[in-house]
Amino acid sequence: MPSEIELAFAHPAARSAATARGTPRDRISVRDHIVDVDIGAFQAERGVTQRICFNIVVEVRAVDGILDDDVDRILSYDKITEAISFELSAERLNLLETLAERVADRILVEPQAMRVFVRIEKLDRGPGALGVEIVRARAAVPGAVDPDPDEMLRPEVVFLSNTAIAAPHLKNWVDQLLSQDAPLLICVGLPDGPRPQADHPLAQRRIDLLAIEQNAWVLAAKDARCKVVATRTELAWALRNGQGCVWSPSLIVLDAVDGPDADVADAVALAQWFATSLDAPELRMIGGRAPSSTADPVRVANETDVTLTFA
């Protein structure tokens, strides 16, 4: 019998076998799957890749009847590596714990998966491997299903210029926007007036993003129904609960795997990028000037093209 310490550092397959109860389940595993990833909470880890090693074991439900050598009746190894790739491409993460949770949840969506062991280690942060291991069971995620893209909320994305934010009829506009069927997400741009200038483009990018966030809070202070949201989790909750949102872009932009090509100082282009990532039907503008070119599927409308009134 291995000791508890030996099991703690053993491969997850050994942990799975040692903690099995009753009739042991079949297992599939992926060992020493190494990927170069931009991940980490420290500033020194941003913008660089480091090697991350995945060891994953999935306990699976026994196949009913005859297997008949049919790949569609089993949980394929590809489902494990696809879960890793999907979560790594969704957004940049700070914590291995978050990545492990998301990979485990995605694997447990598969109907054959009953329990999953996920061990993730950073190989380049010290003389040894630094990592986490989690165990999750299907009972912990009851009713887990793949999200249906057709059922995902598609918000109405509206860009408010500084002129619109300062307008006396701002509350009337918000009334009309919130009365529509689609949930509302408001984007704003840089505030008027000078802002600090930095010699390094990455530093200036952060300064510009923070300035946009300050403008978001200015809008929120003018109308309490406009709640500032900074993460996709906050946004998803707000949209599902019918809450009007104002986008605070820093976290989402900095953590995006496929970030905006445009300068973040171009706030309309930034809003257009985010609207596209949310599969929004269009980007509507109140005040301001539409960019000269737009990328499908987002259609940019000027103030004269929308149904909102001035009073």
Which CATH number characterizes residue 28's domain? 3.30.1130.10
Q: Specify the pLDDT at position 311.
A: 38
Residue 151 gets which letter from DSSP? G
Q: What is the pLDDT of residue 44?
A: 86
Tell me if 214 is assigned to some domain: yes
Cis peptide before 155 (omega within 30 of 0): no
Residue 85: predicted pLDDT: 92
Q: 93 and 173 share a domain? A: no
How high is the pLDDT of residue 70? 58
Within this chain, do residues 132 and 171 fall inside the same structural domain, yes or no? no
Per-residue pLDDT at 305: 42
Q: Report the 10 Å Cβ neighbour count for 149.
A: 8
Evaluate whether residue 224 is within a structural domain: yes
The CATH number of whichever domain residue 272 belongs to comes to 3.40.1160.10
Q: Assess if residue 89 is contained within a domain.
A: yes
pLDDT of res. 152: 46
Tell how strand 245-247 and strand 227-229 pair up: parallel
In contact, 205 and 262? CB cutoff 8 Å: no
- Identify whether residues 127 and 154 lie together within a single domain: no
pTM (2 d.p.)? 0.62
Low-confidence spans in the chain with pLDDT less than 50: 141-152, 293-298, 300-311
Burial string for 36-46 (b: 16+ CB within 10 Å, else e) reads ebebbeeeebe
| Residue 310 belongs to some domain of the structure | no
**Sequence-distant (≥ 6) Cβ neighbours of residue 28 within 8 angstroms:** 57, 58, 60, 74, 75, 77, 80
Count CB neighbours of 163 within 10 A. Answer: 12
Are 228 and 105 found together in one domain? no
Identity of residue 304: T
Maximum CA pair distance of the chain?
78
Examine residue 311 and state whether it is found in any structural domain, yes or no.
no
The answer to whether residues 69 and 216 belong to one domain is: no
Question: Is residue 182 domain-shared with residue 253, that is, in the same domain?
Answer: yes
CA 3 to CA 142: how far, in whole Å?
33
Does residue 177 belong to any structural domain of this protein?
A: yes
Number of domains in the chain: 2
Residues 197 and 159 in one domain: yes
| Rounded Cα–Cα distance for residues 161 and 308 (Å) | 14
Domain boundary residue, one of 140, 158, 191: 140
Domain residue limits at 130: 4-140
